[in-house]
Amino acid sequence: MPDPHDFHTPQPSYTRDELLRSSEGGYFGPGNAQLPAPPMLMMDRITDISMDGGAFGKGHVVGEFNIAPGHWFFDCHYRGDAMMP
């Protein structure tokens, strides 16, 4: 499996366009992880990401998602008792 660093230099944050590029395999190379494409991409941006942060020093991610009434999951998850947001 290729080294992801051969394809992409890690950044401290990512825009929606950058997240979409990741869902197309544009960051980590063939055979490596990628984010899901919409509508399963449940983030609009990553505002903070690190490999060594978090409570146990194993990494930390802060993502944001703009909730809208028309999102697909409102019609199918727990109708009448929404779990989102």
Residue pLDDT, tens place only, 28-50: 777 778 899 998 999 999 999 99
Whole-number Å distance between alpha carbons of 20 and 85: 22
Q: Do the domain assignments include residue 75?
A: yes
Active site residue 8: no
Q: Do the domain assignments include residue 37?
A: no
Q: Do the domain assignments include residue 32?
A: no
Q: Do the domain assignments include residue 10?
A: yes
Owning domain of residue 64: 1-25+44-85
pLDDT at 78: 66
Whole-number Å distance between alpha carbons of 57 and 52: 5
Instruction: Write out the two tokens for 21.
Output: 């590029």
Find the catalytic residue in 5, 8, 60, 77: 77
Q: Is the pLDDT of residue 65 over 90?
A: yes
Q: Do the domain assignments include residue 38?
A: no
Per-residue confidence band for 4, with pLDDT thresholds at 50, 70 and 90: low
The mean of the pLDDT values for the chain is 85
Query: How many domains does the structure of the chain reveal?
Result: 1
Residue linked to tokens 């909730």:
67
Q: Do the domain assignments include residue 82?
A: yes
pLDDT at 32: 77
* Nearest to 60, CA basis, from 43, 48, 73: 48
